[in-house]
């Protein structure tokens, strides 16, 4: 199991949030993911006047890692410069489920230094992914 470097994830996610393109929502988001290889990849949200063209930070970070050849991830951290801790949105949870195991830690942090974590299973208990469903069944049997 890969040791999670939360400090590095937080720093990378915060730096990514500063690059966010969020002229419509004024809600910059940065995400950092740690691959099982130990490498960290970041992404930010990129909005579009045609809202359906907006891409969330989580999906941008995963795409950057996939382009680099990664397919398995150990942890994800969402950073927003607001007081409320923000987990990934619904569509991002589904995309995360494609590459993360059900017990993978998904965290949120903010400018106040607060952090909260959930497992992917807690955020998306019935993901629509064959790999995830198989792993979820294994966790249930082991519990």
Q: Which numeric CATH code is attached to 6-135?
A: 3.40.140.10
Q: Let me know if 58 is a catalytic residue.
A: yes
60 is in an annotated binding site: no
Catalytic residue chosen out of the listed positions 58, 70, 98, 137: 58
Asked if residue 73 has pLDDT above 70, the reply is yes
Asked if residue 133 has pLDDT above 60, the reply is no
47 is in an annotated binding site: yes
Strand spans (E) along 14-141: 30-35, 40-44, 73-80, 105-110, 115-119
44 is in an annotated binding site: no
Given this model, what pLDDT does residue 36 score? 96
Does the global pTM surpass 0.85?
Answer: yes
**Nearest of 70, 50, 54 to residue 62 by alpha carbon:** 70
Asked if residue 16 has pLDDT above 80, the reply is yes
- Residue 114, SS3 per DSSP: coil
Length of the chain equals 143
41 is in an annotated binding site: no
Q: Dihedrals φ, ψ of 26, to 5°? A: 55, 35
The mean pLDDT value for 87-107 works out to: 95
Given this model, what pLDDT does residue 33 score? 98
Given this model, what pLDDT does residue 105 score? 98
């Amino acid at each position: 199991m890969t040791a999670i470097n939360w400090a590095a994830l937080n720093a990378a996610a915060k730096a990514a949030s500063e690059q966010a393109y969020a002229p419509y929502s004024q809600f910059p988001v940065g995400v950092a993911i740690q691959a099982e290889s130990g490498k960290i990849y970041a992404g930010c949200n990129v909005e579009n006047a045609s809202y359906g063209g907006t891409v969330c930070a989580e999906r941008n970070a995963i795409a950057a890692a996939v382009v680099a050849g990664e397919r398995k991830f150990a942890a994800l951290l969402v950073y927003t410069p607001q007081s409320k801790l923000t987990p990934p949105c619904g569509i991002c949870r589904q995309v995360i489920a494609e590459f993360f195991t059900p017990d993978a830690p998904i965290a949120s942090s903010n400018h106040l230094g607060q952090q909260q974590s959930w497992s992917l299973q807690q955020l998306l208990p019935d993901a629509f992914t064959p790999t995830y469903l198989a792993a979820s069944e294994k966790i249930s049997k082991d519990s």
